[in-house]
């Protein structure tokens, strides 16, 4: 996990290494444009100041979307891009064309700046106020649609842009629990769909990160490092709160103060035999703009102390 990266700046394949990065989410950014959020230039400045070298783009449109300008802005701060995120309702046939168009937009930008991952998040079934906007569980027809369209989406972005789709299980979505993750990976095409293992969301939904790594070692291609405050999580479950309200209660906490225990997870990832990006996420929306940088510095130092480097 501490061998030098290849000279081109990208992870190689000869030895395992976890490459530490972060993203706008750790600065309280959930939307392309929101007055509650820190300006993107300050975010990039502080990301570099906190010691990170790798950057996940966050919501499309928050950072510049012109490839040349984006490459200049990140490059002059000593940063490199790992990938970009997109949200879609792949369990719905009616939104397929829209979802494909959005994925193509982000995948095109990711490819243009030399990155290679599309982090695909399923659409939430609750809004920011906790109201349900979709059913909580999918029936078999919807599951079949989800897995078929996820596999096809992965084929599109890989074939047309050379970008790997890594699916991100998430709280308040239809793929979050351990059983749901298991079913999703069993029923999607392993040649086109990989997994973004978000340690916090897996724990939030009651799953076992170590079990997923052990059962699906070849599917874990990208990682979000995150911890959950178990006391806040107990309150969230008791009151059936939506994820946005849970974040406002600071359910996602600074390591090493939450779950899962990160050292065993890092060790398990280190045994996979393939280089991985490990992106620090700490959901903070909304937050005071002076809050993220000190947390980011402490978090970067913590992960460096347990073997995750740039």
pLDDT value at residue 310: 73
User: Does residue 167 fall inside a structural domain?
Assistant: yes
pLDDT value at residue 274: 83
User: Does residue 2 fall inside a structural domain?
Assistant: no
Calculate the alpha carbon distances from 152 to 166, 265, 270 in Å: 13, 30, 30
| Parallel/antiparallel/unpaired status of strands 252-253 and 227-228 | antiparallel
User: Does residue 1 fall inside a structural domain?
Assistant: no
pLDDT value at residue 15: 55
pLDDT value at residue 273: 86
For residue 48, with 0-12 CB atoms within 10 Å meaning exposed, 13-18 middle and 19 or more buried, which class applies?
middle
Find out whether 253 and 233 touch, Cβ atoms under 8 Å.
no
Find out whether 103 and 118 touch, Cβ atoms under 8 Å.
yes
CA distance 308 to 77: 21
Domain ranges, residue 110: 18-305
Listed in sequence order, the residues at least 6 apart from 206 whose beta carbon sits closer than 8 Å to its beta carbon are: 177, 178
Instruction: Return the CATH number at 52.
Output: 3.20.20.150
pLDDT value at residue 2: 38
Find out whether 309 and 19 touch, Cβ atoms under 8 Å.
yes
CA distance 303 to 115: 23
CA distance 1 to 16: 6
DSSP-assigned beta bridge partners for residue 198: 224
Split into its structural domains, the chain has a count of 1
User: Does residue 7 fall inside a structural domain?
Assistant: no
Which residues of the chain fall short of a pLDDT of 50?
Answer: 1-14
Beta strands in 48-163 (DSSP E): 54-56, 80-88, 117-122
Q: What is the DSSP string of 265-296?
A: HHHHHHTSSS-EEEEE-----S--TTSHHHHH
User: Does residue 118 fall inside a structural domain?
Assistant: yes
CA distance 149 to 133: 21
User: Does residue 310 fall inside a structural domain?
Assistant: no
User: Does residue 99 fall inside a structural domain?
Assistant: yes
User: Does residue 8 fall inside a structural domain?
Assistant: no
């Amino acid at each position: 996990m501490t061998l030098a990266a290849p000279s081109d700046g990208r992870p190689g394949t000869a030895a395992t290494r976890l490459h530490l990065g972060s993203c706008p989410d750790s600065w309280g950014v959930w939307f392309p444009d929101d007055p509650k959020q820190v300006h993107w230039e300050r975010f990039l400045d502080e990301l570099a100041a906190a010691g990170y070298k790798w950057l996940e783009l966050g919501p499309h449109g928050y950072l510049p979307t012109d490839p040349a300008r984006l490459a200049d802005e990140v490059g002059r701060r000593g940063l490199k891009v790992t990938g970009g995120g997109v949200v879609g309702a792949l369990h719905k046939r009616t939104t397929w064309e829209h979802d494909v168009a959005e994925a193509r937009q982000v995948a095109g930008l990711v490819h243009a700046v030399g990155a290679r991952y599309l982090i695909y998040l399923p659409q939430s079934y609750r809004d920011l106020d906790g109201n349900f906007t979709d059913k909580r569980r999918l029936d078999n027809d919807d599951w079949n649609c989800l897995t078929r369209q996820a596999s096809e989406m992965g084929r599109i972005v890989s074939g047309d842009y050379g970008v790997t789709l890594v699916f991100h299980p998430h709280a308040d979505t239809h793929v979050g629990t351990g059983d749901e993750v298991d079913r999703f990976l069993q029923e999607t095409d392993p040649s086109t769909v990989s997994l973004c293992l978000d340690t916090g969301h897996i724990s939030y939904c009651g799953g076992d990160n170590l079990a997923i790594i052990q059962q699906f070692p070849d599917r874990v291609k990208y990682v979000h490092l995150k911890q959950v405050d178990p006391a806040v999580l107990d309150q969230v479950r008791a009151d059936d709160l939506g994820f946005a309200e849970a974040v406002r209660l600071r359910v996602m906490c600074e390591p090493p103060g939450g779950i899962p225990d990160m050292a065993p997870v890092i060790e398990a990832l280190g045994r996979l035999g393939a280089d991985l990006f490990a992106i620090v996420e700490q959901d903070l929306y909304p937050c005071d703009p002076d809050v993220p940088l000190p947390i980011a510095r402490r978090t970067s130092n913590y992960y460096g102390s347990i073997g995750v480097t740039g």
